[in-house]
Amino acid sequence: MAGLAESGSNPDVDLLYDINGLAKDAPHWFDKVMEYVGEYGLLLAMVLLVLWCWWGVRKRGGDNAASSVAALVWAPLAAAVAVLINVPIRGFVERPRPFVDHQGLDVLVDGKTDFSFVSDHATLTMAMGVGLFVANRKFGLVGIGLALLEGFCRVYMGVHYPTDVIGGFALGTAVALLLSPVAMMLLTPLMRAVEGSRRLGWVVRAKGTGEDGRSTASGARSERSLGTEERDLAA
């Protein structure tokens, strides 16, 4: 299966040249930006997005805080599982990088000697994006958008075919969705145990946040006010 895309007369290769051709026409500084964004930047942005969502969940609290945090924990775990599954897939397909079989590509990243199908970057970002979507629709849509941009960058950089990226999207999505019920069944009790811990409870719920999502300090003030009103009425 090593010759999966050796001919330039197929849509996969044609689209590769069309997208990578944009790099040839772009300024050098823009290519350097795309190189950093496609190799490191979007992965970092995805991690920060998950942390941002987690920060909001723990501040909001509520009786479903443990399950919400469990869903967020699953997002990076899903990415790790998907990449592990990709290891035997790459070894089975043995598809060379596009610049090995096709001339004239503008390759922005050197040192890529491993196989091409499927893209680890596309797999990682889409698994995290879909996992985040399971936890929070708004943040998840942003995460999926970042994953799509990552896929474009990998082809733009000349290190992957479009079908490498599509395969990564499919693998990441499948792992994040299909294994989500099992992951939640295991992670939710764990997060509830963490929530009840004095030392680690802040991971699930911000200090001072009650199970109804309100500040415990505000609740205490409300109880004191109610007690004062009752004494006034009694008098």
Sign of CA dihedral 219, 220, 222, 223: positive
Mean pLDDT of the chain: 85
Tens digit of each residue's pLDDT (9 = 90 or more) over 171-213:
999 999 999 999 999 999 999 998 888 888 888 877 766 555 5
pTM assigned to the model: 0.82
- Residue 205 pLDDT: 79
Query: Residue 217 — pLDDT band, cuts 50, 70, 90?
Result: very low
pLDDT, tens digit, 9 for 90 and up, residues 65-120: 888 899 999 999 999 999 999 999 999 988 999 988 888 888 888 878 889 999 99
> Of 215 and 47, which is predicted with more confidence?
47
Q: List pLDDT tens digits, range 31-61.
A: 999 999 999 999 999 999 999 999 988 888 7
pLDDT at 171: 97
Q: Which two tokens stand for residue 196?
A: 């009840």
- Classified by CATH at the fold level, domain 19-204 comes out as Vanadium-containing Chloroperoxidase; domain 1 (1.20.144)
